[in-house]
Each structure stands twice: as structure tokens, then as C-alpha cells.
Amino acid sequence: MAAVTLLHTKGLSRRFGGLKAVQNVDFDLKQGEIRALIGPNGAGKTTFVSLLSGRIVPSEGQVFFEGEEVTGDPAWRRVRKGIAYTFQITSVYAKLTAYENVALAAQSALSRSGAVRKKDLDRAVAEAIEKVGLSDRARMKAGELSYGHQRLLEVAMGLALRPKLLMLDEPTQGLSDAEIDNFCNLVRDIARTATILLIEHNMPVVMQLADSITVLNAGEILANGTPAEIRANPAVQAAYLGS
């Protein structure tokens, strides 16, 4: 099977005043893979995925999705094209029920192909909530869920968008070990239908999930490779792993 490029960037840069948060990044993502994006705090990971999702506009460079340039597309249109992003800082609708949170995502996905019928919506929501294991909490307000469950709700929302690319920004941050195991299974499950870009600090999680890894340091790509290659890379060790 020839690898199809789902997303790629050319010379992508973003400055904040004098600070170069992302510098001249050429990046390729193959369809169907699980890619981990790692790097020390402040390396520019969140900024980079924000450029991909359209939350932030680049200072320079281009983003292509499925061979089509999306650099000028607003964030909402990229989501409709299949690029979904779950926030690093949990950002659910605290006052709405878990069901409503996911329904908003599912409605967005369903409306891409015409009018939304209540029956289809209910089914899509039930499916996504079931997948993350929150079925018995669907009627609870999102703000009343535990932190771990809120993170799972975020993932359910990402799932319900039926994305081609799902970008998860530090999804396991603050989760317990049991929750992390559960989460790894979930990601593998999602990967059967979507390409995944995973920003993650937890190295065991990265090593067991990722097909390949990109290391970002000071806004630049330091290395690309398989988990084994990255582990063995001296530059990566110096900048990040070995410390």
C-alpha cells in the first residue's frame, strides 16, 4: 500500500513579537498513521497544531490537506474538511450535559451531508459517548464530571466530528494510570478510521502508540523517525530525552 500524504506544511512559521515559536517547518503526515509530536515545554507544539487547525494564522508558510491548500481557510472550514483538534486546556461546555457537548460535534459532522435528523444525531452521539465509556454519565453536566472524564468527553467530541485527522494536545495530562491505559486503547481504536497527531509528554504512551515521532525543539524540527530511531538519536537525547 503506497502511503498517501494527508497533510503537509511548507516553511510554516509563526512569530509572537520577537519570539519565533515555530520556524520554517516542513512536515508530512501519512494517511492512517499515529504520529507523536514531542518536545520540551515551550518547543512550539501547541502553536504548531494551532497553525494546522487554523486557530492561529501563520506568519509565513503554507498548509496543505489532502493535496489542497488550506492556509487561507478559517478554522471552522478546516474542521468541516476533516481536521479536528482537542484542546490542551479542557474546553468543554461546562453548563451543558455531556450529551449536548457531543451532540454539538455530531451535528456539525452530520450537517456536512445535508439536514440533520434527530434519529441520526442520537445514534452518532450514543456511539461516540459509548466509545469513550461515558454512556452512564451522558445526562450529567460536563462541569460536574471528573477531570479525567472531561478529557474523555473532549475525545468523544473529537470523535463525533468524524475527522480524517484528529489532533490531540496532551490528552493524558492529569489522568491516572488506569485512565491512561484505557485511553491508549481508545486511541488505537480511533486510529482505525482516522489519522492521529498526538502531542504527548508521557514517553511510555508515545512509545507504545506512535508509528513515528516528530521532535520539535525551539520551534524547529529536530528529528523525524520511528520510536526506536528517536530513542537512539543523540541530538534528541541531548535536547530532551536524556535529561
Residues that bind other proteins (CB under 8 A): 53, 55, 74-77, 79-80, 85, 87, 91-96, 100, 103-105, 107-109, 111-112, 116, 157, 161
CB closer to ligand ADP out of 99 and 240: 240
Min CB(193)–Mg ion separation in Å: 26
| 47 near ligand ADP, judged by CB under 6 A | yes
Tell me if 39 sits within 8 A of 240, measured CB to CB. yes
| 21 near ligand ADP, judged by CB under 6 A | yes
3-state secondary structure the chain: CCCCEEEEEEEEEEEECCEEEEEEEEEEEECCCEEEEECCCCCCHHHHHHHHHCCCCCCEEEEEECCEECCCCCHHHHHHHCEEEECCCCCCCCCCEHHHHHHHHHHHHHHHHCCCCHHHHHHHHHHHHHHHCCHHHCCCEHHHCCHHHHHHHHHHHHHHCCCCEEEEECCCCCCCHHHHHHHHHHHHHHCCCCEEEEECCCHHHHHHHCCEEEEEECCEEEEEECHHHHHHCHHHHHHHHCC
Stretch that binds ligand ADP, among 28-36, 39-47, 90-98, 204-212 (CB under 6 A): 39-47
Near ligand ADP by CB under 6 A: residue from 7, 38, 43, 186: 43
| 138 near ligand ADP, judged by CB under 6 A | no
CB closer to ligand ADP out of 44 and 158: 44
| 46 near ligand ADP, judged by CB under 6 A | yes
Q: Which does 42 bind (CB under 5 to 8 A by kind): other proteins, Mg ion, ligand ADP, none?
A: ligand ADP
- Give the position of cell 506512535: 210
Min CB(218)–other proteins separation in Å: 27
Q: Hey, which residues does 65 pair with through a beta bridge?
A: 7, 68
Residue nearest to Mg ion (CB): 46
| 44 near ligand ADP, judged by CB under 6 A | yes
Q: Which does 191 bind (CB under 5 to 8 A by kind): Mg ion, other proteins, ligand ADP, none?
A: none
Near Mg ion by CB under 5 A: residue from 13, 23, 46, 101: 46
Min CB(62)–Mg ion separation in Å: 23
Stretch that binds ligand ADP, among 1-9, 15-23, 147-155, 160-168 (CB under 6 A): 15-23
How, if at all, do strands 60-65 and 34-38 pair?
unpaired
* 189 alpha-carbon distance from chain centroid: 15
By CB under 6 A, name the binding residues for ligand ADP.
16, 19, 21, 39, 41-47
